[in-house]
Structure 1
């Protein structure tokens, strides 16, 4: 892989979640949501969770993933974008958070750039038909770049054990993201 000039969030911010591993294999939607919400709790003061779910700055995500699984994958089956975004939104509503997640079935690269440029990570779907060696899988994207040959890459937290995995952008299919946190705070103040 040629030298990549990365833009986005530092990978060190995701090291805390390094051991949050989806050993089941089918729960990647719930685990990706756990990483995303833990990140928001740790780095965006407008997003809070009750301490019984997760304490800010904690390296323990077990309770959070169990709660999210109830909303996203109660039966443990694989998920589609709408299922993940709707589950996250219902969880946020239940936790009295004004955020709502949105999904896009296509346009992964464009949405990834847009969200990361606002300082927010997002969940991206890797698609087997587009060449993903992971198969169909949900991960959290936090940086993007292009190499000297013009190939596009995304740095992700892979919930199978690598918080700094690098995947080709051509594998991206769908995305799950939040509106910018500052927009949400302004909307709620009006």
Structure 2
């Protein structure tokens, strides 16, 4: 039996975080592989966003996708991408700039404050919590609370949308970069 719960944001909310315009370049980056490599897309997009924020010169999105895929998706002989896989790929790219990844199991505990500071966050949607995205990595760049106090995220989903809205209740894991 499939357990999936559709949550719909049915009201206008005030979004806080990075400008949506910063996500425009990612519209062209659609994960078309089977099985997907969403962890690689999320890590590459986060790298591009953080490089701009921190004024660090790094590779292009295309170069990052090519370079990160092997270290994130194929380093170990299992299917799927776990948070430590995404962390490894990001750490490989960012250690030379004096950054490391941070992780929190509960995205809602850290994501709003990080976004208020202009730090984008990779968040994992989770099938076990009813996400229609199943187990998937997205880059969250805005958050909002609805009138009932429910937390929502706006994200680049690497399926072709930069305005995907997901309820935080269907996510676990937050990964972000921090200066050492």
Q: Distance in 2 between matches of 1:166 and 1:44?
A: 26
**What is the root-mean-square deviation of aligned Cα atoms in Å?**
1.6
Q: Distance in 2 between matches of 1:99 and 1:140?
A: 18
In structure 1, what is the equivalent of residue 28 of structure 2? 19
Contact 1:115–1:121 under 8 Å retained in 2: yes
In the alignment, is the contact (CA less than 8 A) between 1:48 and 1:97 conserved in 2?
no
Instruction: State the Cα distance separating 1:149 from its structure 2 match.
Output: 2.7
Q: More deviation in 108-117 or 154-163?
A: 108-117
Aligned-pair distance for 1:38? 0.8
User: Does residue 178 of structure 1 match 2:177?
Assistant: yes
SS in 2 for 1:162: coil
Q: Work out whether residues 46 and 139 of structure 2, in 8 Å CA contact, stay in contact via their aligned partners in 1.
A: yes
2:5 aligned with 1:6:
no
- Deviation per CA, 1:112-165, whole angstroms, max 9, x where unpaired? 112112111010000011111010000000111011232221001111110111
Per-residue deviation, residues 32-71 of structure 1 (Å, max 9, x unmatched): 00110011222321x221xxx32xxxxxx22210111122
Which residue is equivalent to 2:85? Answer: 83
Partners of 1:19 and 1:151 in 2: CA distance: 31
Deviation at 1:26, TM superposition (A): 2.1
User: What TM-score results when the alignment is normalised by the length of structure 1?
Assistant: 0.82
Number of matched pairs: 168
Shift of 1:173: 0.3
| Matching residue of 2:153 | 154
1:138 paired residue number? 137
- Residue ranges of structure 1 left out of the alignment (5+ in a row): 55-60
Q: Which residue of 1 aligns with 2:110?
A: 111
Give 3-state SS (helix, strand or coil) of 1:102's partner: strand
- SS at structure 1 position matched to 2:134: coil
Contact 1:71 1:88 in 2 (8 A): no
What is the 5 A alignment of 1:118-133?
Answer: 118-133=117-132
For structure 2, the residue ranges without an aligned partner over 5 or more in a row are 1-9
How far is the alpha carbon of 1:91 from its aligned partner?
2.5
Q: TM-score, normalised by structure 2?
A: 0.87
